[in-house]
Amino acid sequence: MSQDAQPVIESPQWIEISLCTPPELVEAIANFLIDEGSNGVVIEDVAPGDRFYDRRRMGWLWVRAYFPTDEFAHLEARLHTYLDEVATLFPLSEPPVLDQSTPEVADWNVSWKKFFQPIQISERIMVRPSWESGPVPPGITPVILDPGIAFGTGKHPSTKLCIRALESEVLFPSDDRPPRKVFSLLDVGTGSGILALAAGRLGVPRVLGIDVDAQAVASATNNVARNSMKKQVEISDEHLEDLIERFDVVIANIVAETLLANKQHLIDRLAPDGVLILSGLLRNQGAWIKDEFLDGPLTFVGALHEDDWCALVFERI
């Protein structure tokens, strides 16, 4: 574990734990914090000017969680042990960096709400928490999403790029191309279910979101119910390699190595002329993943970029 960790500064109620984390470890660290008792975590980009930001950590993410102060003494030793184990299992040039501080707001619910405000993430989709009930701009469809697990609040560029690719390259092309007829969509690694829900809101009649993480499946299932979309969006813990159905669109917003390991399974789930959208990629990984996926029955449609991230779009031929 990095030696840059700061002393613990306690407040009467809560302590904030923030880990500056490479993207491939975000899921594991977030799950650990939730398993240890955090009601959820917040994931944000590590931006220039942030503590610990430098060229070595471009594309890294903050994983933030809150714990009652009186519980932290029991957690601290386990957290340090876990980070040492992570450093052993995932030998990286730069390990995660731990920062601990007092949150600005002691009340848990208020602390959550300052992180989760309505955000328009594409031309047609807005994500907002259930406690926000203000007017929605014309032409915008809201997806209601409350913090409950780590992934997919809509703030991260990889999530935005997936939804924008679905809009601009598939359902609502901005050029002279006609919209594609999409009757089914598969969201691989659905997390909170945000991509599956957005696809349903954009008019896809049959959406399946799958995830092997039980907490993600529970969170996504709750979010489907919260959005009254049970008839349109299904959430399952079924493994990708066990699926038989083919889909008009397959979306996978996961790290590059996992995308590559599941390349054939992803392609196999595409219907003829189906579209594959890959995200969760850093810009410098885009060309590598593009070349790997073109070694097969796919043709390249285009790429979308935001900050250090990119999404790739392919069509099955």
pLDDT tens digits for 179-223?
999 999 999 999 889 999 999 999 999 999 999 888 788 889 999
Please give the model's pTM, rounded to 2 decimal places. 0.73
pLDDT digits (tens, 9 = 90+) for 57-114: 777 888 888 777 777 777 888 888 888 887 777 777 677 888 765 544 445 455 556 6
d(C-alpha 56, C-alpha 15), whole Å: 27
Q: What is the pLDDT of residue 118?
A: 81
Q: Return the CATH number of 14-113, one of 3.90.550.10, 3.30.479.10, 3.30.70.120, 3.90.650.10.
A: 3.30.70.120
Q: What is the pLDDT of residue 4?
A: 37
103-110's contacts with Cβ under 8 Å and 24+ in sequence apart are 103/11, 103/14, 103/15, 103/16, 103/66, 106/11, 106/12, 106/13, 106/14, 107/13, 108/13, 108/14, 108/39, 108/66
Q: What is the pLDDT of residue 215?
A: 77
pLDDT digits (tens, 9 = 90+) for 146-164: 655 445 566 678 889 999 9
- Indicate the burial class of 18 (C-beta count within 10 angstroms; 0-12, 13-18, 19 or more): buried
Residue limits of CATH 3.30.70.120 in the chain: 14-113
| Mean pLDDT in residue range 134-146 | 86
Share of residues in the chain with pLDDT > 90 (%): 41
pLDDT at 8 over 80: no
**CATH number at 116-316:** 3.40.50.150
Residue limits of CATH 3.40.50.150 in the chain: 116-316
Q: How confident is the model at residue 1 (pLDDT cuts 50, 70, 90)?
A: very low
